[in-house]
Amino acid sequence: MKKNLHEAVVVIMGASSGIGEATALAFARKGARLVLAARNAAALQHVAKLCREEGVDVLVHPTDVTQAEKVKELAEVAQSFGEIDVWVSNAGVGAVGAFEETPIEAHHRVIETNLIGHINDAHAAIPVFRKQGHGVFVNMISLGGFASTPFAAAYGASKFGLKGFSEALRAEVADMPDIHICDIYPAFIDTPGLSHGANYTGAELSAPPPVYDARSVADAIVRVVQQPKDTTTVGSFTDLVRVGHFLAPAFTARAMAWVMRRHFQKAEKAARSSGNLFRPARDPGGIDGGLRPSVPPAAGIGLAAALFVTGFVIGAVEGAASPSNRRR
């Protein structure tokens, strides 16, 4: 991999806003040549304009990641720039709501985008990488790949599935030392994704603190492309969730469900909506979602740490008190 990334060819799926837009600009500042894809053509053109102002070449190719043949077409278009050095698989959608109150079509669409879409990306990129003998495939997962997401069941299923897919793919390309499958696990990130997503709760949605800047995720992606590693977490909260789920998975899930229920009870009312599941968002969105915290990140991390320590203690006590342990 070209360590300075100058004139490296970088494909970014889901480049129209949020982490995708921040990532496009981060690579543009490194002098990379960009191929930007998403469903929203107008938003892509806006991001392309910003990137061209950094003095780089940009191709825009509107693509729905759920359509495998269109993703293959994107790979062909990208090769007009030359060999593809990096493919950032970043498309994602969400649907928040009680499982049975969320339309089954919404659950399907989340899986189609967040899991099948990333499989479509890899199915287009990996043959190109094998032919070239090199390439970095970046899978955008989330802390939802480490712990369950009550009231966003399909989202959690897609992220758990994507983690397993990525591990399997990494093993299959182990015979090619210059092909890398790199997973990114961000914490809660300040993007328009939550406002753009589907909401079947009847309440306004917000992310719990700590909420991090999308540019920190973009910087992590650039670093991992220059120095590939299998797993990269962004935000200390992700590491706490990972440890908490390992120590007390049932408690962690119940605690998250309790937090979500409390939020729904206190939040302002909102109309139910399918958001951007079946069509692009009406507004371009930009990078930021206006979610960054009124509670400082350190306070949110402290709260999370307290929850997970409590969960560990409860798990240990319950384990010690179980009939099987008493018989020993």
Question: Which residue, 219, 280, 273, is CA-closest to 65?
Answer: 280
The question of whether 155 is a catalytic residue gets the answer yes
Contact 238, 212 (CB under 8 A): no
Phi, psi of 271 (to 5 degrees): -70, 145
What CA–CA distance (Å, rounded) separates 56 from 153?
40
What CA–CA distance (Å, rounded) separates 12 from 217?
14
> End-to-end distance of the chain based on CA atoms, in angstroms?
56
Tokens of 207: 């992310």
Single out the catalytic residue among 155, 185, 200, 212. Answer: 155
What CA–CA distance (Å, rounded) separates 31 from 15?
17
**CB neighbour burial string for 83-98, b if at least 16 within 10 angstroms, e if fewer:** ebbbbbbbbbbbbbbe
DSSP annotation of 203 reads B
**For every residue of 45-84, which 3-state class applies, written as one string?**
HHHHHHHHCCCCCEEECCCCCCCHHHHHHHHHHHHHHCCC
Where does residue 272 rank: exposed (0-12), middle (13-18), buried (19+ CB within 10 A)? middle
Question: Which residue, 289, 287, 277, is CA-closest to 109?
Answer: 277
Using left for φ > 0, alpha for ψ between -120 and 50, and beta otherwise, residue 192 falls in alpha
**For every residue of 143-156, which 3-state class applies, written as one string?**
HHHCCCCCCCHHHH
**Residues designated catalytic:** 155
